[in-house]
C-alpha cells in the first residue's frame, strides 16, 4: 500500500490540511471481471491510472474559468489550479463570468454560489441556456449547504465542492471533468448510433416510454450525481445502473454492485466501509470495503431500503463529506465514487415506515429513474425477445432461428408479473428445449398464461409458488426470502421458522449475494 501524504494549507483560501491515500493494493478488484467476495461484483475493463490524474497527460491544456467575488480566494484558487497545469482565467461575479465564458470558451467553469450582480446558480442556468453542453460547471458551496449543491446538480452542474476547499478533492474533480470532456465526443457518436436501433447498451426498447428513459439515462450518465433507480423486481434496475456507469467517464474504472438485502446486518458496515485488522472479533486482516473497491468508479447500493438505519446514517456522512473511515480506523481518506441506489419498494412509503432515512432519500434521489413494468410497454417484447434469442443461442450453443407468431402472440398477451427477468427465463428455457428452428408454444412452461403466474415476492402473499421446472435450490431460495420478508428481515426468527441454524441462513444469503441477483436462478 502506498500512502501519499500531502500538506496543502493556504490561510487565504481556508484550504484544509488533507491526506491522500493511493490504494495500489486493492488486490482482487484489479481483474477484468471477478466476484470479489460473496456479495460484491466488480467490473473493470482497464487497469486504472493513478488517482488524481492531472492535465500533464492531456494533449491540450484544459481551460478553467474561476468565478469568485472574494479577491484572496480568487487569486489563491487561480494559482493553485494553474499550478496543476490548467490554463486559467478569472471573473469576480456571475455577470463577468458569463461574459468571459462566452468570449474565452473554457472547458470547465469553477464558480462560487453567492456573488453580487449574478449568483452562481443563475450563471449555471445562463450557461446551460447557451447550450455549451460539454462545458463542466463545478460549484463551490458553503459548508453544510447540501440543499444548494443538490439544486445546482439538478440544474446541470457537473459536481460541487464545499468550503473550505480540499485541494486534493478539487484536483480530482477537475481531472474527472477533463476526462469527461475527452470522452464526450466519443460517447455522442455511440449514443446516436444506439438510439437509432432502439438499444441503449444492454437495454432494449423502442417504445415511447423506453425512449424517454434512454434519453434521461444518457443525460444523467455523464454527470456525477446520485441516481435512485426504482421499479418492480425484474424491470432492469441493475442493467440501468451498469448502463449509467458504461456511458460515464468512469467506464474504465470498477462498477461494484452490493445487494444490501443479502448481507447479514453484522457484516454490512464492514462490507461497505471496510475494516482494519482487529476492528472486531474475527477481523483478522485489514479489508477494503465496497467504496474503496469502487474508487473512481460507480457503486450500486441495491435494495437500499434493506440497509440498517444506523448504516444509512454513516452512508449519508460519506456522501456528504466524501471521506471514508474504515471500521476501527482513526484516519479518514477521501473517496471519489459515484453512488447509485436501487429499490423495488416505493421509496416514499419506505421513508414513511422508517425503513429509509428521509435525508438519505433526499440525497440519493437527485435524479429518479423509474423503470416501468413490462406490461406497460408490451410493444417492446418482440425486440427484447429477439435480442434475448441471440444471447441464449450463444450462451447455450443453440441455433434457434426465431420465434413463431403464435408463441409471440402468447408472450404479448401475458401479464409478466416478474417483468423482463421472467421473460428472459421463459426464453432461456424455450431456447434450451427447442435447440434449432423456431420457438413455438410447445416450448413454453406448462400452464403458461392460463392463470397469472404468481411470483414468490408479492408483498402480502404468505405462500410461495413453485412451478414445474424450478430447481430445488431456487425453490429453497424463494422460501428463505419469503420467510425473511414475513419476519421483517429478522434473521433469527426466520432461521427458527425454517428449522435451520442462523449460521446456515447467513451462508445461504451469502451464496445468493454471490449470484449477484436476488431472484434469478438461471441467470449468470
Member of 62, 96, 112, 238 binding Mg ion (CB under 5 A): 238
| Residue 274 is a binding residue for ligand ATP (CB under 6 A) | no
For residue 62, give the 3-state DSSP assignment: coil
Kindly tell me which residue out of 15, 77, 98, 203 binds ligand ATP, with binding defined by CB under 6 A. Answer: 203
CA atoms within 13 A on the CB side of 337: 31
Bridge partners (DSSP) of residue 505 are none
Nearest to 273 by CA among 317, 208, 304, 320: 317
- Residue 304 · residue 342 · CB < 8 Å: yes
**Measured from the CB atom, is 334 or 417 closer to ligand ATP?**
417
Distance of CA 261 to the CA centre of its chain: 16
Integer-rounded Cα radius of gyration of the chain: 25
94, 234, 289, 372: which one contacts ligand ATP (CB under 6 A)? 234
Q: Contact with ligand ATP (CB under 6 A): which of 100, 237, 253, 287?
A: 237
Burial of 432 (0-12, 13-18, 19+ CB in 10 A): middle
Phi, psi of 468, deg, nearest 5: -60, 135
* Shortest CB 390 distance to ligand ATP, Å: 11
341 binds, among Mg ion, ligand ATP, none (CB under 5 to 8 A by kind): none
Does 384 engage in binding with ligand ATP (CB under 6 A)? yes
Q: How many residues bind ligand ATP (CB under 6 A)?
A: 20
Distance CA 429, CA 499 (A): 32
End-to-end alpha-carbon separation of the chain, Å? 33
Binding mask 402-431 for ligand ATP (x = CB under 6 A): ------------------xx--x-------
CB of 237 to Mg ion, least distance (A): 5
CB nearer ligand ATP, residue 165 or residue 403? 403
**Among residues 141 and 518, whose Cβ is nearest to ligand ATP?**
518
Pairwise CA distance, residues 498 & 502, whole Å: 10
Selected range binding ligand ATP among 49-57, 134-142, 229-237, 327-335, rule: CB under 6 A: 229-237
Binding to ligand ATP in span 423-482, by CB under 6 A: 424
Query: Can you give 85-97 as a three-state secondary structure string?
Result: CCEEEEECCHHHH
Quote the least distance from Cβ 518 to ligand ATP, whole Å: 5
d(CA 372, CA 369): 10
- Answer yes or no whether residue 292 interacts with Mg ion by CB under 5 A: no
Binding interface with ligand ATP (CB under 6 A): 203-205, 231, 233-239, 344, 384, 420-421, 424, 517-519, 523
Amino acid at each position: 500500500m502506498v500512502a501519499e501524504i500531502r500538506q496543502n494549507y493556504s490561510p487565504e483560501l481556508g484550504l484544509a490540511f488533507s491526506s491522500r491515500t493511493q490504494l495500489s493494493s486493492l488486490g482482487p478488484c484489479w481483474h477484468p471481471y471477478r466476484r470479489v467476495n460473496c456479495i460484491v461484483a466488480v467490473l473493470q475493463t482497464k487497469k486504472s491510472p493513478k488517482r488524481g490524474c492531472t492535465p500533464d497527460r492531456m494533449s491540450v491544456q484544459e481551460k478553467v474559468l474561476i468565478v469568485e467575488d472574494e479577491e484572496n480566494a480568487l487569486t489563491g484558487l487561480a494559482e493553485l489550479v494553474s499550478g496543476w497545469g490548467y490554463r486559467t482565467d478569472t471573473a469576480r461575479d456571475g455577470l463577468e463570468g458569463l461574459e468571459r465564458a462566452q468570449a474565452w470558451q473554457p472547458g470547465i467553469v469553477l464558480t462560487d454560489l453567492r456573488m453580487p450582480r449574478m449568483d452562481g446558480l443563475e450563471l449555471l442556468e445562463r450557461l446551460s441556456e447557451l447550450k455549451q453542453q460539454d462545458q463542466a460547471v463545478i460549484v463551490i458551496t458553503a459548508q453544510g449547504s447540501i440543499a444548494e449543491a443538490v439544486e445546482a446538480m439538478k440544474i446541470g452542474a457537473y459536481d460541487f465542492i464545499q468550503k473550505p476547499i480540499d485541494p486534493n478533492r478539487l484536483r480530482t474533480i477537475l481531472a474527472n471533468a477533463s476526462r469527461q470532456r475527452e470522452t464526450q465526443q466519443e460517447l455522442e457518436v455511440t449514443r446516436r448510433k444506439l438510439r437509432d436501433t432502439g438499444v441503449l447498451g444492454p437495454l432494449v426498447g423502442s417504445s415511447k416510454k423506453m425512449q424517454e428513459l434512454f434519453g434521461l439515462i444518457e443525460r444523467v450518465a455523464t454527470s456525477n450525481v446520485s441516481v435512485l433507480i426504482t421499479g418492480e423486481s425484474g424491470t432492469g434496475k441493475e442493467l440501468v445502473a451498469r448502463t449509467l456507469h458504461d456511458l460515464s467517464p468512469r467506464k474504465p474504472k470498477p462498477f461494484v454492485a452490493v445487494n444490501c438485502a443479502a448481507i447479514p446486518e453484522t457484516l454490512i458496515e464492514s462490507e461497505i466501509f471496510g475494516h482494519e485488522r482487529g476492528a472486531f472479533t474475527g477481523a483478522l486482516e485489514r479489508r477494503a470495503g465496497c467504496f474503496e473497491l469502487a474508487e473512481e468508479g460507480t457503486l450500486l447500493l441495491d435494495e437500499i431500503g434493506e440497509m440498517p438505519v444506523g448504516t444509512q446514517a454513516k452512508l449519508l456522512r460519506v456522501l456528504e463529506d466524501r471521506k471514508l473511515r474504515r471500521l476501527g480506523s482513526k484516519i479518514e481518506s477521501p473517496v471519489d465514487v459515484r453512488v447509485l441506489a436501487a429499490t423495488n419498494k416505493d421509496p416514499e412509503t419506505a421513508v414513511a415506515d422508517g425503513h429509509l432515512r428521509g435525508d438519505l432519500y433526499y440525497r440519493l434521489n437527485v435524479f429518479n429513474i423509474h423503470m416501468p413494468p413490462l406490461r406497460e410497454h408490451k410493444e417492446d417484447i418482440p425486440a427484447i425477445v429477439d435480442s434475448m434469442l441471440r444471447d441464449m443461442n450463444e450462451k447455450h450453443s443453440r441455433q434457434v432461428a426465431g420465434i413463431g407468431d403464435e408463441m409471440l402472440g402468447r408472450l404479448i398477451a401475458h401479464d409478466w408479473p416478474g417483468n423482463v427477468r421472467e421473460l428472459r427465463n421463459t426464453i432461456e428455457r424455450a431456447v434450451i428445449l427447442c435447440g434449432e428452428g423456431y420457438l413455438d408454444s410447445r416450448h413454453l412452461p406448462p400452464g403458461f398464461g392460463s392463470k397469472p403466474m404468481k411470483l414468490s415476492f408479492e408483498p402480502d402473499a404468505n405462500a410461495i409458488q413453485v412451478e414445474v421446472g424450478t430447481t430445488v435450490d431456487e425453490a429453497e431460495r424463494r422460501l428463505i426470502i419469503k420467510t425473511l420478508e414475513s419476519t421483517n428481515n429478522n434473521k433469527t426468527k426466520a432461521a427458527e421458522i425454517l428449522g435451520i441454524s442462523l449460521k446456515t441462513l447467513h451462508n445461504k444469503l451469502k451464496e445468493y449475494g454471490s449470484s449477484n441477483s436476488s431472484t434469478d436462478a438461471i441467470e449468470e
